[in-house]
Amino acid sequence: MTQDSFADAVFQAGKIADHPRLSVYANGVTKSLISVLEAGFPVIRQLVGSAFFAEMALIFVRSHPPKSRMMMLYSTEFAVFLQDFPPVATLPYLPDMARLEQALRESYHAADALPMDPDALSGMTETHRLHFAPSLRIVRSTWPILAVWRAHVGGIAPNGPADVVILRPGFDPAPHALPIGGATLLEALLSGATLGHALSISPPELDLAAVLTLLLNEKALIGLSQ
Amino acid sequence: MLPLRPGVGFKPQHFQDLVTDPGPVGWVEVHAENYMGAGGRPLAQLRELATHFPVSVHGVGLSLGGNDPLDPDHLLRLKRLCDALPAASFSEHLAWSTHGDIWMNALLPLPYDSQTLSQVASHIDQTQTFLGRKLLLENPASYLTFAESTWDEVDFLTELVRRTGCGLLLDVNNVMVSSVNLQFDAGDYLTRFPLAFVEEIHVAGHEQELDDQGVSVLIDTHSAPVADAVWRLVADVVRRAGPKPILIEWDNDVPDWPVMAAEAGHAARLLAAG
């Protein structure tokens, strides 16, 4: 049998009849990929239950097999899959929760960076650009995903919908609620806008001091440039 | 080269125990692919471990037996990891894992024919040249044989050593698992195995399941203590070939440190007994 037919058998349910032991390999492939998803999306798993998660994950790994060997990031497509998976249509916040869990993993494995000296911020003007730790991630949501995440993982979070920023002061990424306009500001700054330009497109109720304090406290600012 | 002592497959939950009181453990092995991120705790822990122990880099992602060319990006990630530590040893599997652009995340079996032999030999050559280091090739745990096979597995591995100059990683649990599943004699297999080229031994636990026809099959799960029958085979190998670095692999349902240390202690006594 060729590697083509072997691979087809693994990813197509019901095609494993050629040899009674082929299913050992096929199960090995799907089980290992399902465990990767179980480890990567623990809160989604708690929300839908472990038996349902395993069934859903099997459908996902067959329709979205990994295209990379970097299992630590499998899979960014899971959130998109959840958006269009009818059995979870009654849990419309699941895709955003999956984006949050994926962003936490990305942050965990992101490059290390030295934080900037907070005193250097006193010389900051609107012409400056801000540089952030590579572990910073923003997850926008119209659902209270942080409150739901906290309810499953521990800790407390404000009720109500909020955009989330993930910050990693050491090796443990943690999600934080962003004040109104914070995500708009940070996305502009991350794309290289000057502080002045980022502020000009942010809503007037933005509390800049609150955002900067959070970033400094969590060691997410690594430098300024003109 | 690894020390002629027991080693353990590194699990993050054992980090503190390993760096404070490793007991009989003289080296550690990591799965290369878990340390290919850009930074964070995994790489920081690995850097610190490398100050305490020789580190063996064990790849599961190269797909040496794949029909596709080796992935140059993956080779580069391997080289960076091996050079940064630097790795005391590098090993990979006689298996395939990629199909086109799909990554199967499992070690899949190969027919032992002359075409596979040339293909694997060429991939080993390419890897050793690119990494600038010797590759230790691990014998697989098998659940079926291919009608296309014209080579015996031991002869096939021996010929790969002859053609490429690679070394061998003898996984004795894999021999046990394959011998039950394919109904051959494990002792005979090990008698014919070219022990002079073995630079590392793996032991692990396996579990028994039933296949689609209700026939008992041993699965290489790495989720249990090493079976007594496997220890006996290892003892026989050590008596004939002298001490070798022995790795305890325990990747699923990983126990607390004292259980790992006890398994390493078993290997240490066996090495001392010769």
| Mean pLDDT by groups of 10 residues along chain B of 274 residues | 97 98 97 98 98 98 95 97 98 94 93 96 98 98 92 98 98 98 97 98 96 89 96 98 98 96 98 90
Q: Closest chain A residue to B95 measured between Cα atoms?
A: A3
- Residue B211: name the closest of A29, A21, A13 by CA: A21
How sure is the predictor about A13, in pLDDT bands with cuts at 50, 70 and 90?
low
CB contact under 8 A, A6 and B108: yes
* Tokens read off for B28: 């550690």
Tell me, yes or no, if B44 comes closer than 8 A to chain A by beta carbon.
yes
Q: Find the CB nearest B103 among A66, A111, A135.
A: A66
Model pLDDT for residues A110-127, shown as the tens digit of each residue = 999 999 999 999 999 999
Tell me, yes or no, if A169 comes closer than 8 A to chain B by beta carbon.
no
* Rounded distance between C-alpha atoms, residue A216 and residue A62, angstroms: 43
The 10 Å Cβ neighbour count of residue B14 is: 21
Distance from CA of A31 to the nearest CA of B (A): 10
CB contact under 8 A, A67 and B101: yes
Read off the amino acid at residue B4: L
Residue with tokens 């003007």: A125
* Rounded distance between C-alpha atoms, residue A56 and residue A89, angstroms: 13
* Rounded distance between C-alpha atoms, residue B248 and residue A48, angstroms: 36
Burial class (CB in 10 A: 0-12, 13-18, 19+), B188: exposed
Which has more pLDDT, A184 or B147? A184
CB contact under 8 A, A20 and B211: yes
pLDDT at A154 over 90: no
Q: Which residues on chain B are in Cβ contact (under 8 Å) with A72?
A: 34, 36-37
What's B148's DSSP letter? T
The pLDDT of residue A8 is 79
Q: Which residues on chain B are in Cβ contact (under 8 Å) with A109?
A: 37-40, 42
Torsion of CA B190, B196, B197, B200, to 10 degrees: 70
CB contact under 8 A, B33 and A171: no
Distance from CA of A15 to the nearest CA of B (A): 13
Q: ipTM higher than 0.90? A: yes
* Tokens read off for A39: 């480890």
How sure is the predictor about A155, in pLDDT bands with cuts at 50, 70 and 90?
confident
> Measuring CA to CA, how many Å separate B5 from each of A213, B26, B199?
52, 6, 12
CB contact under 8 A, B213 and A20: yes
Give Dmax (Cα) for chain A: 71
Phi, psi dihedrals of residue A126, rounded to the nearest 5°: -70, -10
Burial class (CB in 10 A: 0-12, 13-18, 19+), B241: middle
Q: Which of B105, B120, B123, B223 to mutate to test the interface with A (most CBs of A within 10 A)?
A: B105
Q: Are B137 and B94 in contact (CB under 8 A)?
A: yes
Q: Which residues on chain B are in Cβ contact (under 8 Å) with A23?
A: 211-212
Tell me, yes or no, if B115 comes closer than 8 A to chain A by beta carbon.
no
Q: Which residues on chain B are in Cβ contact (under 8 Å) with A112?
A: 39-40, 43-44
Tell me, yes or no, if A15 comes closer than 8 A to chain B by beta carbon.
no
Residues paired with residue B210 on neighbouring β-strands, in sequence order: B216
* Tokens read off for A28: 């090995």
pLDDT at A17 over 80: no
CB contact under 8 A, A109 and B213: no
Element (H, E) at B274: none
Give me chain B's average pLDDT, please.
Answer: 96
How sure is the predictor about A10, in pLDDT bands with cuts at 50, 70 and 90?
confident
Q: What is the 3-state secondary structure (H, E, C) of chain A?
A: CCHHHHHHHHHCCCCCCCCCCHHHHHHHHHHHHHHHHHHHCHHHHHHHCHHHHHHHHHHHHHHCCCCCCCHHHCCCHHHHHHHCCHHHCCCCCHHHHHHHHHHHHHHHHCCCCCCCCHHHHHHCCCCCEEEECCCCEEECCCCCHHHHHHHHHCCCCCCCCCCEEEECCCCCCEEEECCCCHHHHHHHHHCCCCHHHHHHCCCCCCCHHHHHHHHHHCCCEEEEEC
Tell me, yes or no, if A171 comes closer than 8 A to chain B by beta carbon.
yes
Distance from CA of B113 to the nearest CA of A (A): 12
Model pLDDT for residues B108-139, shown as the tens digit of each residue = 999 999 999 999 999 999 999 999 999 999 99
Distance from CA of A9 to the nearest CA of B (A): 12
Distance from CA of B195 to the nearest CA of A (A): 29
The 10 Å Cβ neighbour count of residue B123 is: 22
- Determine if residue A167 is left, alpha or beta; phi over 0 gives left, psi from -120 to 50 gives alpha, anything else beta: beta
Distance from CA of B106 to the nearest CA of A (A): 5
The 10 Å Cβ neighbour count of residue B147 is: 6
Interface size A-B, in CB pairs within 8 Å, comes to 102
Give me chain A's average pLDDT, please.
Answer: 93
Flag the least confident range among A7-21, A167-181, B244-258: A7-21
Distance from CA of B36 to the nearest CA of A (A): 8
Whole-structure pTM value: 0.95
Element (H, E) at B44: helix B41-52
Q: Which residues on chain A are in Cβ contact (under 8 Å) with B40?
A: 108-110, 112, 135, 168, 171
- Residue B204: name the closest of B52, B12, B39, B29 by CA: B29
